Amino acid sequence: MRWLLLMGIVFGLVTGVRNGWLELHWDRVLHDVGVPFVPDPDQAPGPPAGTAR
């Protein structure tokens, strides 16, 4: 019964990510896990955090 519930949760999460119901921000996930992560160098940098225009 536990395995069935676990498989249902995993199936729901995978389906939600695939259909766009859930968004994963991999940079935040990897930062929380502690994996060094270099953002996409082709992406234009935005303004520094905490600056008001």
Take residue 47 and report the two structure tokens written for it: 């303004």
Supply the pLDDT for residue 29. Answer: 82
Please enumerate in sequence order all residues whose Cβ is within 8 A of that of 39, keeping only pairs 6 or more positions apart, or say none. 27
Instruction: In whole angstroms, give the CA distance from residue 18 to residue 8.
Output: 15
Instruction: In whole angstroms, give the CA distance from residue 26 to residue 33.
Output: 10
What is the maximum span of the chain, computed from C-alpha positions, in angstroms? Answer: 55
pLDDT digits (tens, 9 = 90+) for 1-53: 999 999 999 999 999 989 988 888 888 888 888 887 666 666 656 666 666 55
